[in-house]
Structure 1
Amino acid sequence: MPSTLNNILFCDIEKEDTIEAIDVKHLYDVPLMLQKEKLDSRVLSKLKLKARKSDLKSWKKIVNTIHHLDG
């Protein structure tokens, strides 16, 4: 476990409520990375809201197109 994460645990934040600050190539990658970290599920759980199945196929297609524009 990274030392930064150990320090966060002393701040009354549950380990599962932390996410990594991941560097991404494009801003459009951020929603996909946040979903990978399960941030969407955690927020809905904290707000006691029912989750719906997410469909990011169109978003992934856009991101894929952007990545291929860079060459």
Structure 2
Amino acid sequence: MVRVATFNVNGVNGRLPVLLAWLKATHYDVVCLQELKTSDEKFPAEAIGDAGYGAIWHGQKSYNGVAILARG
């Protein structure tokens, strides 16, 4: 069974410690993030990769943005 969740992160860089703790505690297979509020260049791909997730994303500075994370 694949476990999928969504998370309105409301600013991925400002809430990165919360997101990483949540990913570690929940072990979802796929996570859809919304309201990244960061440019593509500032998305924390390395930290999310270190947590065991691959990611694709599209963001805009201070506005909207989405990402899909997948374990492994």
TM-score norm. by structure 1 comes to 0.28
Looking at secondary structure, tell me which structure has more helix per residue.
1
Structure number with larger C-alpha Rg: 1
Looking at secondary structure, tell me which structure has more strand per residue.
2
- Higher RCO (CA-CA < 8 Å; seq separation 6+): 2
